[in-house]
Amino acid sequence: MVKKERKLSEQIYSNLDYKFKNKKLLIKSLTHSSYSNENKKYNIGNNERLEFLGDSILSLIVSKFIFTQYTEYPEGELTKLRAKVVCEEILSKAARKLDIGNHLFLGKGEEQTGGRERKSILADTFEAIIAAIYLDGGFACAQKFVLSNLKVYIELAVKGKIVLDYKSHLQEYYQSKEELYKIKYIVEKEEGPDHSKVFYVSAYVNKEIIGRGIGKSKKIAEQSAAKNALNKIGELNG
């Protein structure tokens, strides 16, 4: 276990751009509960409590930044802006850019079911790392980490390039046009057994296919197709 911890620390420091004084805080922030549950002699614990603290610190840092930077925004717009950034989708993207998934301590079950790529685990770990940096180096260090990784998404959200409901956004895009457009989603095919189906959906405007998507439910596949369409017309950041 000691060798694994030492190797982990050397790799992750440069990714996070922060040097921990207390190495165990970093290890703890990267430890999923499935790992600590399977390894009873593992005395570092897991990152659930750190996630709790990190969530609040993250909200404060982002709230302070947008409050200061966007002075013309009323309270309601600030709330919407923060919600677009402080969400599982964006936090998991930020975590992937830092290669956090490859440094997680996961139980065998989570490992086998794709836990290193699961959005919820990556987002939670990102919050836990924020708390670990805060406890190790203080608020200024945590703030630097958060803004260096999330400022780009705040700017994209301000420009309307971050969307959580792709179907609604696509509908609004075409409703703004002078011509009459009708959007519909068609399931082109289904694969797999009933308990684990995969749906392939195409998004149509009038009779033209504008996007394609796949998902484990029709709703997810439709959102995927709408996102694909929005990317093609330049309404998203990719």
Catalytic member of 55, 110, 124, 136: 55
Adjacent-strand bridge partners of 144:
none
Q: Is 127 in the active site?
A: yes
The set of residues, in sequence order, having a beta carbon less than 8 Å from that of 227 and lying 6+ positions away, is 163, 166, 211, 213, 236
Q: Which long-range contacts (CB under 8 A, 24 or more apart) does 177-183 make?
A: 181/205, 181/206, 182/206
Burial class (CB in 10 A: 0-12, 13-18, 19+), 70: middle
171: its two tokens: 């509908």
Q: What is the chain's length?
A: 238
Q: Is 55 in the active site?
A: yes
Q: Token pair 């975590």 is at which residue?
A: 95
Catalytic member of 51, 110, 124, 127: 127
The set of residues, in sequence order, having a beta carbon less than 8 Å from that of 153 and lying 6+ positions away, is 84, 85, 90, 93, 94, 162
**Residues with catalytic function:** 55, 127
